[in-house]
């Protein structure tokens, strides 16, 4: 199979770190959903957990399916089940990015912490993940020192903007 979902290359340590952090897109999507779901009467931890899991899965499926349809259009044929499975595997980091927030929300769901505390903690963790992912990407690209720090900070700003949005929307 050619194109985006061709034979996967062997993962390097940096690939595993970046993938382990979740995709930037998935992390931002999770934070955006947390901001939205935590307002008003919708602040139920179990509902938020279900919404995160479903939304992230739907986005991953939509990404995989649309990429396969574009490739299929170029080859004038629809993708098969094996290609869909491979494409979904490629999109797994998007879903995996929601797991830290879901784990934190589980603490609220079982009553160990408040929902608002869980949301704030999850947003802080996601912002740290964005910083670490940016820093790891800079390191892989050969950047060191202030240049690497700058890349990490740019990624971190994405999470900070969502924290500011939460503060603005909820107060």
Residue 13 has pLDDT above 60, yes or no: no
pLDDT at 21: 44
Long-range contacts of 52-57 (CB under 8 A, 24+ apart): 52/98, 52/101, 52/102, 52/105, 53/98, 53/102, 55/29, 56/26, 56/29, 56/30, 56/94, 56/95, 56/97, 56/98, 57/95
DSSP state at residue 6: S
What tens digit of pLDDT does each residue of 131-162 get?
988 888 888 889 999 999 999 999 889 889 98
**Global model pTM greater than 0.85:** no
What tens digit of pLDDT does each residue of 47-77 get?
999 999 999 999 988 888 888 887 765 566 6
How many CB atoms lie under 10 A from the CB of residue 81? 7
Residue 171 has pLDDT above 80, yes or no: no
């Amino acid at each position: 199979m050619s194109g985006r979902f061709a034979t996967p290359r062997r993962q390097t340590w940096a690939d595993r770190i970046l993938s382990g952090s979740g995709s930037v897109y998935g992390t931002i999507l999770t934070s955006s959903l947390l901001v939205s779901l935590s307002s008003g009467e919708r602040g139920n931890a179990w509902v938020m957990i279900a919404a995160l899991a479903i939304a992230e899965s739907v986005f991953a499926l939509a990404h995989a399916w649309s990429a396969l349809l574009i490739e299929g259009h170029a080859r004038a044929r629809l993708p098969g089940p094996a290609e869909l499975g491979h494409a979904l595997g490629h999109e797994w980091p998007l879903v995996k990015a929601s797991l830290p927030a879901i784990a934190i929300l589980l603490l609220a769901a079982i009553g160990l912490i408040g929902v608002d505390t869980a949301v704030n903690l999850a947003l802080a963790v996601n912002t740290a993940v964005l910083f670490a992912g940016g820093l790891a990407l800079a390191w892989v690209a050969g950047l060191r020192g202030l240049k690497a720090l700058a890349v990490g900070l740019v990624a971190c700003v994405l999470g900070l903007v969502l924290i500011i949005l939460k503060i603005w929307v909820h107060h």
